[in-house]
Chain A
Amino acid sequence: MNKISAHLDFHAQALALRSRRNEVLASNIANAATPNFKARDLDFDAEIRHHIGAGPLRTTDDQHLPTMLNPVRDRMLFRDPINPSMDGNTVEMAVEQMEFSENVVRYQTTLTFLNRRISGLMSAIRGE
């Protein structure tokens, strides 16, 4: 069972992170007209490295409680605007739409990878 979850782990983590980034980019698009709103984003490369490196705490004694906590949750960054606007809003529609569509495509790619892995496992189980 552990090997099956390890087989799927990387793409599962990546999918969760992509979904999270979609929500953040959607928040930016939602706040396109709010004065003083600062657009946010997360550095996917740094986050996935962090998520892969940090698993649940290892337990060395029967009395230890297992944890699934990640030491630090995703660190949110602020976007550097190309053309800052007068009202202090740093959402640039072109940038956000581009990032959003890229992230959607990458989400779909990860989903395809996961599907392929699952169907690979399924055909191994069926033995066809």
Chain B
Amino acid sequence: MSDIKNIFDISGRAMASQLVRLNTVASNLANAGTVSATEEEAFRSLKPVFATKFADSFENNGVSTVDVVGIERVNRDPERAFMPNHPSADEDGYVYRAAVDENEEMIEMVEASRQYQNNVEVISTLRALMMRTISMGK
């Protein structure tokens, strides 16, 4: 990854990471009600893995941003439900519900969007400061 040069790198990449997080929440919620025939096929919720990315140069010591280094499935067993009339039920009449906790996803969504807003706020504040600095002495 390229080095962190300025505020647009710091907050911009953090916003991109939060957006990945919001996308995983969206796909988890979209798959929340699905059922499947086998335990292996059942949907398990996806979680992005965040990692701090520090600036490479010594000049920028202490400056860092965040990157998504991977998206992982949570290790959670899908719920087994007895639905013998369901078309994808197995021979015993069971289906497997997606392992998604809706409450957890909603909290994740609210938190991600708040942190996204915080980063937007930082960028717009510092951009205004830059504009005022450019017109210094006028």
Contact = CB atoms under 8 A, between A and B. Distances in A.
The answer to whether A and B assemble together is yes
Interface residues of B, number: 33
Interface in A1-44: 15, 19, 22-24, 26-27, 29-35, 37, 40, 42
Contact of B62 (A30, A40, A97, A115): A40
Contact of B126 (A26, A40, A118): A26
Nearest to A96: B118
B interface: dominant SS = helix
Given A37-B66, A97-B118, A115-B137, 10 more contacts: A23-B10, A24-B62, A26-B7, A26-B10, A33-B21, A33-B50, A34-B51, A37-B64, A40-B62, A104-B129
Interface of A: 15, 19, 22-24, 26-27, 29-35, 37, 40, 42, 73-74, 76, 93, 97, 100, 104, 107-108, 111, 114-115, 118-119, 122
21 contacts: A23-B63, A26-B7, A27-B10, A27-B65, A29-B14, A29-B115, A31-B64, A32-B118, A33-B21, A33-B50, A33-B111, A34-B52, A34-B66, A35-B50, A76-B62, A97-B118, A104-B126, A104-B129, A114-B137, A115-B137, A119-B137
Interface of B: 6-7, 10-11, 13-14, 18, 21, 50-52, 58-66, 111-112, 115, 118-119, 122, 125-126, 129, 132-133, 136-137
